[in-house]
Amino acid sequence: MDIKKILLAGSAVTAMVLATSCSSDKSTEPDPVDPTVSSSSEGGANPDPTSSAGDTPVTGSSSSVNGDNPQPELSSATEIDDPSVTQMAITEIMYNADDGSALEWVEVTIQSGPDISSMLASGMRLDGALSYTFPNEELKKGEYIVVTNDKDLFMQTYPTFNGRLYGPWDVDPKTGAVAKLSNEGDVIDVKLTGEGDVSCSYSMEPPWPSLANGKGRTLVYKGGNAAQATSWGASKIMNGNPGVGNDEWLTTSNIRLNEIMPTGTGTDAWVELYNAGSADVDVTGWVFESKIRKEKLTIKAGTVPAKGYLVLNAATDFNDSEGAAKELIVSDIGGSYYLYGAVEGDESSLLLPSSKLSSGVVDLSDGSTAQGALVQATPGAANSALYIGSLVISEIHYHPNEEDLNDVEFLELKNLSETPITPFEKLSNGNRGWKVEGINFEFASTDVIPAGGIVVLFPDSLQSSGLTADKLRTRYSIDAGVVISFYSGKLSNRGETIAVKKPYFYQKDASNPLNDQWYYDWSDATLYSDKWSGNGVDYKRADGFGYSLQRKDFTTMGYEAAAWMVDKPTPGK
C-alpha cells in the first residue's frame, strides 16, 4: 500500500511532514545553521535522539509479517508523523579509525515507531557504500545495534562491548574482499523492503568534522537533517561509544570561516571570519590550516565582534609555528581550509572550488547555508550570491510514479551559454571529462553540448532492460539535437547533492599515486529534498506522484527551493 497515493487521492491534501533527505555527493554539502551549536567546549549530547530538537531524520519501512503476528504497515514514503510507522536512524559512524586500523562500523537504531519483529522478514538491510542483510531477529525501539567490517577486530578494539554485533558486511564484487567505506565520503542506507528509510552521508572534506577522519573519533548523529554536516559531530569519547546511543560530541564556537580570497588574483589574499554569537570573540593564536600546502599558520591578533566580521590580510596577519611572520598562500586550484579554536573539536572549514573568485558561505532562506565561489567578493559584509557556470541542472525527476511503468528517473542539464560546450578538459598533465556528482556520471571526449542545448541523463539500468537512447528519444519525443546519455548511479528518493564540476587541475603525487587528485571548478549544484515546502509550490508532488522539479531561476546555484517549480516531466524540452 502506498500511503502517499492515498493521501493525495482527495481534492484536499492533508499537511504533511516530509522525511529527511541525505546526500550521496562525496564532496562538500551545504551546511545548515545548527541550533545545537554551543560556545561550550564540554561537548553536547542529544538527550533523546528519537525525538531530537531538529527535524525527524528519516522515515521508514514496509509491512512485514512474523508468523501469525503481522506488524503495522510501514512505508518508506510516509509524509505524516504516524506512530505506526517505523523510522530508522544511523546514529554513529566509524569510517576511518586511527593508527592505521582497518576497523569500520555503523550504529543503527529505530528512530521512532513500532518494534520490528523480524529484521529479515522486514527486508532490513544496509545499502549504498556497503551492503548487509540482517538476520531473522527482532529489533526493539531503544536498542542500538552495530554492524562492522571485522567482528574480531571490533572486539579487540572494544573488549567490554556487550551489545548486539553483526558482520562482516558483504564482499565488494569489484575487489572480491569485504567492502570498505571510502575515506573520501559516501552514503550509507538503512532500507526496509526496498525503499530508503535513512540515507546518511559522511565525508572527510569540509564542513564535516576533521577529527572523525583518522584521528580517533567517530561521527555522532546530533539530530536534524542527516544530509547536513552539522547534524553530525565528532565523538567526545576517543573511538566512539558503539551500541550505547545518546553519545556526547565535541561542540564548536560561533566563529565561522566565512570567505576566502585566493592569492594571485589582482589583490592580496584574505580570510574573513564571521561571529554568529552575541559576544565578541578573541581569535588571537587560533590556527588556520591549508591542507593542500600542508601548512598551519596562527592568527597574530584579532577579535571578531558579535554578529560581525574580521578580515585577516594574508600577507601581514599570520605567523608560522615558530612565531615568525609568514604570508598565507591560498591557491586558486582550491582545496580544504580549516580554522581551529582554542579547544579540541572547535573548528570551522571551507572547501574551496577551483576558481580565481573568492569562495565562502551563503545563508539560504530556509536557515541553512551553502558553500562555493561567489559572484562578488564582499570582505567585511554578508556574502553575495554563489557563482553559477555555463552548464546547469535544469530538471530533476528523482522519484517517478512507481505505478506508471513509463515514468522513469532522469536528470536534465542545460547549456546557458551562446557557444557550444565540449565537456572534456585537456590539461597539461591529464585529460578528464566534466562530471556530475551524485549520479556517478562523467562526460566523454566526444560529447558536445550545443549553444543553449540540453543533455538528458537516464539511469543505466534502463539500458539493461532494453530501453536504449533511441527508444527513450521516441517515448519522450526528444529532439535529435538533444544529447542523451546514461549514468550508473541513482537519484535518491529522499534528496541529495547534485553538482556539475569542470576539471581544473590535476595534482600528481610521485611518492604515492593513490594520492593523485583532481580539482574542480563547480558549474552548478543543488541539494534537492523531499522536505522542500513553501514558495506557493506543492513540492511533494515530485516525490513519487509523476511530477519533476524544474528550474526557474538560473541567477545563482540551485540550492534554494524557490529556484524550482513542480510540473509534469519534460525531458529534453
**Residue the block writes with cell 551563503:** 362
Per the DSSP assignment, residues forming a β-bridge with 259 are: 272, 360
Side chain identity at residue 237, one-letter code: I
CA atoms of 92 and 107, how far apart (whole Å): 5
Position 244 confidence tier, pLDDT thresholds 50, 70, 90: very high
Cell 604515492, residue?
A: 512
pLDDT above 60 for 10: no
Q: How far apart are CA 338 and CA 519, in angstroms?
A: 18
More confidently predicted of 42 and 52: 42
Q: Which residues of 199-213 are buried (b: 16+ CB within 10 A; e: fewer)?
A: bbbbbbbbbbbbbbb
- With a pLDDT cut of 70, the percent of the chain lying above it is 84
d(CA 259, CA 277): 18
Residue 369, pLDDT > 70, answer yes
Nearest-angstrom CA–CA distance, 24 and 85:
25
pTM for this prediction: 0.80
* Domains annotated on the chain, with CATH: 1-24+44-202+212-250 (no CATH), 255-373 (2.60.290), 391-567 (no CATH)
Q: Decide if pLDDT at 273 tops 80.
A: yes
**Range in 2-6, 41-45, 372-376, 539-543 with the lowest mean pLDDT:** 2-6
> Of the given ranges (7-16, 92-101, 285-294), which has the lowest mean pLDDT?
7-16
Give the per-residue pLDDT at 18: 25
Please give the pLDDT value at position 514: 67
pLDDT of residue 307: 97
The confidence score (pLDDT) of residue 195 equals 57
Q: Tell me phi and psi for residue 399, to 5 degrees.
A: -140, 90
Return mean pLDDT, the chain. Answer: 84
- 421 — phi, psi (to 5°)? -115, 130
β-pairing, 165-166 with 144-148? parallel
* pLDDT at residue number 82: 59
Q: Which residue has the cell 529534498?
A: 529
Would you state the pLDDT for residue 472? 96
Predicted local confidence at residue 196, as pLDDT = 53
Check whether 51 has a pLDDT greater than 80. no
d(Cα 296, Cα 313) in Å, to the nearest integer?
16
**Residue 194: what pLDDT?**
56
The stretch 81-105 carries a mean pLDDT of 88
Report which of 299, 290, 311, 300 is spatially closest to residue 377, judged by C-alpha positions: 311
Window from 147-161, 162-176, 262-276, 335-349 with minimum mean pLDDT:
262-276
329: confidence class by pLDDT, cuts 50, 70, 90: very high
Q: What confidence tens digit (pLDDT) does each residue in 411-462 have?
A: 999 999 999 999 999 988 789 999 999 888 999 999 999 999 999 999 999 9
Residue 55 pLDDT greater than 50, yes or no: no
Which residue, among 539, 530, 544, 531, has the nearest Cα to 564 in the 3D structure?
539
What pLDDT score does 339 carry? Answer: 97
Q: CB neighbours (10 Å) of residue 512?
A: 8
Each residue's pLDDT tens digit, 493-538: 878 889 999 999 988 877 777 677 889 999 999 989 888 999 999 9
Residues 6+ apart with CB under 8 A from 54: 35, 36, 222, 223, 224, 225, 231
Q: Which residue has the higher pLDDT, 268 or 498?
A: 498
pLDDT, mean of residues 245-257? 93
Q: Is the pLDDT score of 173 beyond 90?
A: no
Give the percent of the chain with pLDDT over 90: 65
For residue 70, pLDDT beyond 60? no
